Structure 1
Amino acid sequence: MELTVVHGDITRQQVDAVVNAANRAMRGGGGVDGAIHAAGGPEVLADCVRRFPDGLSTGDAGWTTAGEMRARWVIHVVGPNHRAGETDRALLVSCYARALAVADELGAGSVAFPLVSAGIYGWPKDDAVAVAVETLRASPTQVEEARLVAYDAVTYEAIRQRLAR
């Protein structure tokens, strides 16, 4: 699998699936979650309600339509909320591994990932980058391209440097 980083907007990526850093309720929110729901339109929320009436557990993943986005699917993952005391690194690792497993089930060849839990959930950025790169490199998958999408230049540079190791 090719693992790359781009500086940009995850909702505008031309990939088979985009990964959403969702909350447990699966009803939209802020940050990446809000951007994906806004870009995808009401179909994304309607599919979340239909497919996940009770939401998703932390560390788990599931898919919906991508609605009006270029991607075909959204793979929703629920990252651990570090600020709320969810500090088990295995939950963050699980987000990336489960997202790849769901992508394999869907037959997605290309997937765009945000840096899960590193925003409002407060996971330390250096470790969030390490988990993303290590897990995506180590997980068996049929995905041909995993793309880490950094919204800001500082995050882009941190991921770029980690990929160069």
Structure 2
Amino acid sequence: MTPTLTLVQGDITGQSADAIVNAANSSLLGGGGVDGAIHRRGGPEILAECRALRASRYGKGLRTGQAVATTAGRLDARWVIHTVGPVHSAGEDRSALLASCYRESLRVADELGARTVAFPAVSTGVYGWPMDDAARIAVEAVRAAGTAVEEVRFVLFDDRAYAAFAEHVR
């Protein structure tokens, strides 16, 4: 079954969903952009679980393209699914790693029983992925994922991101 794809312009930390995806860095310990916003609004519970993950299974951090879940803390969600997107490279095709972020996040969502998942535009901030290409990869990966998730909501921060995703969701 293919989930319903919805586009929303706004702040992902204000979304109500079973799971909110965090464009995390490999340390899982917070950062800038979406990652920092989720940690700030979600509260210390998220960071505490991320520290526990680092102390156990992810001592060297979460690998690019992988995903892992924690509590959502004070967010209006049950879980935060952290995924590490690739840094864009003009000289190396890393699109499979970006697609993996979406597939792996949906795999984790399925394991949790999540029915609604809110995604940011992974890797399009400081990691420099061109928005149109990132939108194409995200939409193709979600459509091909074979997930039980009923709704995937792409939460886009600005007009440019919304327009890029709208081109591919049609």
Could you tell me how far apart the structure 2 residues matched to 1:85 and 1:114 are? 25
CA positional deviation for 1:157 = 1.4
Name which of 5, 8, 16 aligns with 2:7. 5
Size of the alignment, in residue pairs? 164
Does residue 123 (structure 1) correspond to residue 129 (structure 2)? The answer is: yes
Name which of 87, 110, 114 aligns with 1:81. 87
Q: Deviations 1:81-127 (Å, cap 9, x if unpaired)?
A: 12697741111010000000000000000000000001100011111
For normalisation by structure 2, the TM-score amounts to 0.93
Q: Is the 8 A contact 1:56 1:78 kept in 2?
A: yes
Name which of 47, 71, 83 aligns with 1:45. 47
Name which of 133, 137, 148 aligns with 2:143. 137
Could you tell me how far apart the structure 2 residues matched to 1:86 and 1:34 are? 28
Q: Percent identity?
A: 59
1:110 equivalent in structure 2: 116
4+ residue stretches of structure 1 with deviation over 2 A? 83-87
Could you tell me how far apart the structure 1 residues matched to 2:73 and 2:92 are? 31
Letter in structure 1 aligned against 2:98: L
For normalisation by structure 1, the TM-score amounts to 0.95
1:14 equivalent in structure 2: 16
Could you tell me how far apart the structure 2 residues matched to 1:84 and 1:24 are? 21
Give the 3-state SS of the residue equivalent to 1:52 in structure 2: helix
Of 86-95 and 110-119, deviating more is 86-95
Give the 3-state SS of the residue equivalent to 2:68 in structure 1: strand
Q: Is the 8 A contact 1:80 1:86 kept in 2?
A: no
Does residue 152 (structure 1) correspond to residue 158 (structure 2)? The answer is: yes
Q: Deviations 1:15-39 (Å, cap 9, x if unpaired)?
A: 0000000001110000000000001
